[in-house]
Amino acid sequence: MSKQVEIASILPRESAAVSAWDLFVQLDRITHRFGSRTVFEGVTEAAQEGEILVVSGANGSGKSTLLRIIAGLLTPTSGRAIVSAAGTELNGAQRRRLIGYVAPDLVLYRELTGAENLQFFAELHGVRADRAMLVDLLTRVGLRGRGRDAVGGYSSGMRQRLKYAFALLHDPPILLLDEPTANLDTNGVAIVEEIVKAQQMRPGGGLTIVATNEPRELEWSARRVHLGPGA
């Protein structure tokens, strides 16, 4: 399927002729408060396809909140998080189709197996999830042979791997990763690094935004937003 056709299905008709995603995320003076507590104030940054943007800051500085705002899950108190493709700002439904999201508070259904979870979410995304596709995906995240096990029986590391399969199901050009290597062993960390590298190298360009404090992950990009004191 050509990129033009994919974009045509997501963007307004007048934008359908563009040949690449032309992704752009712009954080425009974003401030967020929970009650009277200001989490962060005036965050301004931009990132485009092929780039990795690292969001760092102490615990409680609002890294996860900022990722939720970018994903369209949360409305900031003031300012805007503009996610655009081919010069067109994406609405909620379009963001759902173009964004893959991994976070500690993302939970999949414990009562279903790994494969059943992926099949269910694939159906929601309009992706044809045949057996070969699921095997590919599970192999990619290091869960080959565990697809028929109930997620309730997975270890925390296996659940983190399954979250990556969930995020990659619809082949999204934008990845939002909150604490991307939490609970993962050395092999799992290597898988995540491979996913991030593949995302950066994907044809048409992918965009990755990472919220972390891990020194190794901070090195993934020089493009950073630091939240909290000294920001």
For strand 207-211 and strand 174-178, is the pairing parallel, antiparallel, or unpaired? parallel
Please identify which residue in the block is written with the tokens 């593949």.
Answer: 198
Residue 6's Cβ-side half-sphere holds a number of Cα atoms within 13 Å equal to 17
How many chain residues are in contact with other proteins, going by CB under 8 A? 48
In the list 35, 126, 145, 215, the residue contacting other proteins (rule: CB under 8 A) is 126
Nearest approach, Cβ of 79 to other proteins (angstroms)?
A: 16
CB 53 within 8 A of CB 25: yes
Beta-carbon contacts of residue 228 (< 8 Å; ≥ 6 apart): 40, 57, 58, 61, 62
CB 163 within 8 A of CB 108: yes
Residue 121 in the binding site for other proteins (CB under 8 A):
yes
Residue 110 in the binding site for other proteins (CB under 8 A):
yes
Question: What b/e string do you get for 116-144 counting C-beta neighbours within 10 Å, with b at 16 or more?
Answer: bbbbebbeeeebebeeeebeebbebbbbe
Of residues 195 and 227, the one with the C-beta less far from other proteins: 195
Residue 123 in the binding site for other proteins (CB under 8 A):
yes
Residue 6 in the binding site for other proteins (CB under 8 A):
yes
In the list 14, 89, 130, 194, the residue contacting other proteins (rule: CB under 8 A) is 130
Residue 155 in the binding site for other proteins (CB under 8 A):
no
* Residues making contact with other proteins (CB under 8 A): 1, 5-6, 8-9, 68, 71, 73-75, 92-93, 96-97, 99, 101, 103, 105-112, 116, 120-130, 132-133, 136-137, 140, 166, 168-171, 202
